[in-house]
């Protein structure tokens, strides 16, 4: 099976046949479609189809052989539509239960496709797609009507907003300009969790990401626009808008006092304050977990395991830390920070 620009010519031997084979056509051009057979039998049925690039049918017909031949060929011609879509077309023959296919290229009405939508998020990109060929097209992409150097493939990765188009052609044939696609840059959503929080009064804090028509994912795994936290830590959230663009923010929350251990703090005394090389901590009740000396950012500077120790005097050496304000943290789960202690 072949495609031709004119009927194939098979003169008597020893003259050479003239196939007029052609694989690339322009819209509105007449194309010939030929099937070549051997061992043809009378009454055999052949089905022919020509497909557009999207696999819809341009033409179809059938033939019933009325003779028995060792070899034979048959051809038909069709004028391609004036608005034929650019791309890879297909000529198909179904014969004796087998399907045979031949591709050919057509340049006509040319449409620019995009991998997703025509807008992309800041820092991202989108893939622009030209119709593919089987025998090879030549491409030239343009932005705002100006050729893009080196952009000569069937796809182009757009990283900037603008009006994109391309020209497509094949050697010694026709060319066509595509339609123009406006590619827009979508601004990212905004999210602000505010300044870091040092909580000295409440047992819990509400963190609110705000925004409209956004989806949320917190570092805790929650997916609501706000969360409630009751322990110190760094919390973050990522928001996503309808265009798929994202933004993130984080905030550190420090609890100075929690209700579960608030009464316990009244039974502890720390001296001297300010201190030189040592702090002394006197405990009147059992303390779960450990005693930690923390800096204002919540970093552990010193730690003493007490293991439910009661009614003891604990000596804490601080001669090797920098002067400044520190907090004493009690327990293993909540940050119970009792007052400020100063290292001279």
Question: Cα–Cα distances in Å, from 249 out to 52, 209, 222, 252, 255?
Answer: 50, 9, 15, 11, 20
Please tell me the predicted confidence (pLDDT) of residue 259: 41
Summarize the confidence of residues 13-18 as an average pLDDT: 91
Question: Is 62 within 8 Å of 45 (Cβ atoms)?
Answer: yes
What pLDDT score does 293 carry? Answer: 85
Structure tokens at 111: 């449409």
Which tens digit of pLDDT belongs to each residue from 109-150? 998 887 666 788 888 888 999 999 999 999 999 999 999 999
State the fold for domain 262-343: Immunoglobulin-like (2.60.40)
Residues with Cβ within 8 Å of 26's Cβ and at least 6 positions away in sequence, in order, are 80, 106, 107, 108, 173, 174
Structure confidence at residue 260 (pLDDT): 41
Highest mean pLDDT among 91-100, 167-176, 288-297: 91-100
Sheet with 24-26, side-by-side order of all strands = 24-26, 98-107, 87-95, 45-51, 57-64
pLDDT of residue 258: 42
Rounded to an integer, the average pLDDT of 20-48 is: 96
2-107 against 197-255: fold identical: yes
CATH homologous superfamily of 2-107 equals: Macroglobulin (MG2) domain (2.60.40.1930)
pLDDT in tens, 83-95: 999 999 999 999 9
Q: What is the pTM of this model?
A: 0.64
Lowest mean pLDDT among 173-182, 185-194, 199-208, 330-339: 330-339
Break the chain into its structural domains and give their ranges.
2-107, 113-186, 197-255, 262-343
Domain 113-186 has CATH 3.60.10.10: no
pLDDT tens track for 222-264? 999 999 998 778 999 999 998 889 999 999 988 764 444 455 5
CATH of domain 197-255: 2.60.40
């Amino acid at each position: 099976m072949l495609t031709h620009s004119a009927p194939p010519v098979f003169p008597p031997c020893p003259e050479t046949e003239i196939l007029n084979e052609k694989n690339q056509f322009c819209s509105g051009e007449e194309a010939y479609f030929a099937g070549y057979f051997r061992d043809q039998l009378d009454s055999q049925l052949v089905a022919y189809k020509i497909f557009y690039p999207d696999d819809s049918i341009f033409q179809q017909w059938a033939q019933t052989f009325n003779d028995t031949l060792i070899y034979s060929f048959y051809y038909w011609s069709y004028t391609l539509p004036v608005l034929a879509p650019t791309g890879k077309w297909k000529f198909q023959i179904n014969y004796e239960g087998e399907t045979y296919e031949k591709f050919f290229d057509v340049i006509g009405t040319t449409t620019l496709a995009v991998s997703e939508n025509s807008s992309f998020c800041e820092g991202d990109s989108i893939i622009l797609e030209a119709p593919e060929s089987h025998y090879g097209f030549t491409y030239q992409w343009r932005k705002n009507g100006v050729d893009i150097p080196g952009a000569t493939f069937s796809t182009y990765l757009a990283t900037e907003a603008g009006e994109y188009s391309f020209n497509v052609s094949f050697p010694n044939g026709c060319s066509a300009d595509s339609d123009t696609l406006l590619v827009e840059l979508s601004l990212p959503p905004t999210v602000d969790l505010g300044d870091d929080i040092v909580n000295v009064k409440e047992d819990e804090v509400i963190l609110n990401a705000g925004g409209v028509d956004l989806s949320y994912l917190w570092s805790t795994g929650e997916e609501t626009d706000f969360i409630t936290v009751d322990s110190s830590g760094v919390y973050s959230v990522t928001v996503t808008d309808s265009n798929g663009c994202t933004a993130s923010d984080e905030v550190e929350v420090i609890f100075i006092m929690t209700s579960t251990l608030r009464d316990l703090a009244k039974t502890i005394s720390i001296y001297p304050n300010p201190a030189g090389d040592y702090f002394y901590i006197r405990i009147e009740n059992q303390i779960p977990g450990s005693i930690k000396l923390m800096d204002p950012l919540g970093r552990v500077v010193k730690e003493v395991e007490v293991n439910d120790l009661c009614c003891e005097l604990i000596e804490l050496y601080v001669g090797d830390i920098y002067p400044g304000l520190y907090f004493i943290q009690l327990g293993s789960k909540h940050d119970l920070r009792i007052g400020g202690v100063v290292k001279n």
